[in-house]
Amino acid sequence: MPANRPAPPEPRLTVTRPTRGRLRRALAVALPLPVVGLVLLMASGHLLLPLQKVVTIEAKMASKRDFFEDPEVERLLLKHGFRVRITRMGSREIANQDIKGYDVVFPSGQPAADLITRERAAADRPVTTYRPFVSPIVLATYREYAEALRGNGVARLQRGSGGQSLYYTLDMEKFLALTRGGKTWDGIGIARYGVDNGNKVLAQSSDICESNSGGTYLGLVAFVEHENDAPDTLPEAERLARDIKPLLVEQGLPSAEKAETYLSADGKGISPIAVIYEHQFLAHQIAYEAEHGTPDSERVLLYPSTRIDTEPQLVALTRDGDRLGELITSDLELQHRAMELGFRVRDTRSDATSVQLKEFLGERDIPAPVTSADDTKAVLPRLPLLERMIQIVGDCPPAEGAE
């Protein structure tokens, strides 16, 4: 038998306590990390987010969602405790569909907003509207097409806008006469500017049945073709709608967002002239200049000599919607960002649009458009008449509540 041997001693765990000097050095190395994080949170406006309530705003929006989908706008809204969740659809769709459960709706123009406010008032549910900015309807095209129109006496180059002008004034009567006469781009000499295009001279809009821009352009054409006057009676409006329909739909009613098509690489071949909003063009120019150091001189705007402004109205349906409307019309940071996105921001002290946009563009050597006091201002038909004209021209279903 093996001899009994003494058992080895149990191992002991020795805990070494750091000296005060070593502890201070360790803390000195570790502390800057949270401090840097704290500074970053403060700078981004997210420091208090875990502690403050963030309200999610349910919204239906048309093209002015460009503003709310901008990352900087999202950051600023979050700083004020708002997150906006957007359901996308055309302005007329917004007016025609159920808006129960939404805090705000933001159609791109007054006709759709009027449909909503009228229906709510009839149901004894009044709403508040906010008009944070303005963006006129324009015809976006390319330099070659604008010069072809200029060569035929239909457009003239705007002067006094600084640099190589990006803007032309379009004689709407002469332009519509080209369309009514069946003139093609080849027929008016577009080949002199290096382009071949056998299509009819025509401005294309988004779907008239859905979009404010399409319906507004219809109203502009109707005003010009009706000798600079809006129809007064339903029979008159119906006759006028049937008369101008070929000026609007002979090449179809594209349903896609025209600004996206126009700004794409293939836009020139798909849609030589597109009905869009001014801010969409200016936002492109601002972004293009920031990347390339110079404006995009290939893309230009045609401002109709008979002009029509659009006044998008944010319609607040709930108290939270009211709070959002008040914020975007009064907060200076949000107003400045709207200007950076090409909008003509309303002066908070008056009903006029801000002149800061012109100064902002000038600082970046981007020419600013010039509005002529000689231009005729078009008037849209009364809402029930406009709705009936939209139905006829676009073969659209009737709007709910339309007379």
Whichever domain contains 203, its CATH number is 3.40.190
DSSP 201: -
One domain for residues 390 and 355: no
346 versus 389: which is more confidently predicted?
Answer: 389
Among the listed residues 231, 201, 235, the one whose alpha carbon sits nearest the alpha carbon of residue 218:
231
Highest mean pLDDT among 119-128, 177-186, 355-364: 177-186
Whether 266 is in a domain gets the answer: yes
What's the mean pLDDT when you consider all of the chain? 82
- pLDDT above 80 (res 257): no
Whole-number pLDDT of residue 160: 62
pLDDT band at 337 (very low <50, low <70, confident <90, very high): very high
Whether 10 is in a domain gets the answer: no
- Full residue range of the structural domain in which residue 69 is found: 55-134+311-363
pLDDT band at 168 (very low <50, low <70, confident <90, very high): very high
- pLDDT above 70 (res 15): no
One domain for residues 302 and 335: no
What is the rounded CA–CA span in Å between residue 199 and residue 183?
8
Which segment of 10-19, 92-101, 247-256, 295-304 scores lowest on mean pLDDT? 10-19
Whole-number pLDDT of residue 39: 46
What is the rounded CA–CA span in Å between residue 106 and residue 223?
26
Whole-number pLDDT of residue 89: 81
One domain for residues 266 and 348: no
What is the rounded CA–CA span in Å between residue 183 and residue 368?
31
* CATH of residue 126: 3.40.190.10
One domain for residues 91 and 141: no
Query: Strand ranges (DSSP E) for 236-370?
Result: 274-277, 299-304, 306-307, 314-316, 344-345
Whole-number pLDDT of residue 96: 75
One domain for residues 150 and 199: yes
Among the listed residues 187, 208, 186, the one whose alpha carbon sits nearest the alpha carbon of residue 197:
186
pLDDT in tens, 221-252: 999 999 999 999 999 999 999 999 999 876 54
pLDDT in tens, 176-209: 999 999 999 999 999 999 999 999 999 998 888 8
Mean pLDDT of 112-139: 83
pLDDT in tens, 285-296: 999 999 999 999
One domain for residues 174 and 114: no
Whole-number pLDDT of residue 162: 54
One domain for residues 78 and 208: no
pLDDT band at 323 (very low <50, low <70, confident <90, very high): very high
**Looking at the 3D structure of the chain, how many domains does it have?**
2
- pLDDT above 50 (res 13): no
Q: Tokens for 231?
A: 């129809």
114 versus 335: which is more confidently predicted?
Answer: 335
Whether 160 is in a domain gets the answer: yes
Q: Tokens for 385?
A: 């008449």
One domain for residues 387 and 254: yes
Whether 32 is in a domain gets the answer: no
Whether 88 is in a domain gets the answer: yes
Q: Tokens for 263?
A: 């700004």
Burial class (CB in 10 A: 0-12, 13-18, 19+), 401: middle
Whether 223 is in a domain gets the answer: yes
pLDDT in tens, 57-71: 999 988 888 899 999
pLDDT band at 374 (very low <50, low <70, confident <90, very high): low
Say what percent of the chain tops pLDDT 70: 80
Helices 332-340 and 356-363, packing angle to 10 deg: 60
One domain for residues 72 and 176: no
Model-level pTM? 0.80
One domain for residues 296 and 322: no
Say what percent of the chain tops pLDDT 90: 46
DSSP 391: H
Whole-number pLDDT of residue 392: 94
Radius of gyration of the chain (CA): 29
Whole-number pLDDT of residue 224: 94
Q: Say how many C-beta atoms besides its own lie within 10 A of residue 355's C-beta.
A: 12
Among the listed residues 302, 271, 297, the one whose alpha carbon sits nearest the alpha carbon of residue 284:
297
- pLDDT above 90 (res 316): yes
Burial class (CB in 10 A: 0-12, 13-18, 19+), 353: middle
Whether 47 is in a domain gets the answer: no
What is the rounded CA–CA span in Å between residue 219 and residue 226?
10
Provide the total of helices (H) and of strands (E) in the chain, helices listed first: 17, 14
Positive or negative torsion for Cα 114, 115, 117, 123: positive
One domain for residues 88 and 226: no
One domain for residues 130 and 205: no
What is the rounded CA–CA span in Å between residue 179 and residue 190?
15
- pLDDT above 60 (res 21): no
pLDDT band at 53 (very low <50, low <70, confident <90, very high): confident
- pLDDT above 50 (res 3): no
What is the rounded CA–CA span in Å between residue 376 and residue 258?
25
Whether 17 is in a domain gets the answer: no
pLDDT in tens, 128-150: 889 888 888 899 999 999 999 99
Q: Residue holding tokens 């002979």?
A: 250
- pLDDT above 90 (res 173): yes
28 versus 259: which is more confidently predicted?
Answer: 259
337 contacts: CB under 8 Å, gap ≥ 6: 70, 72, 73, 76
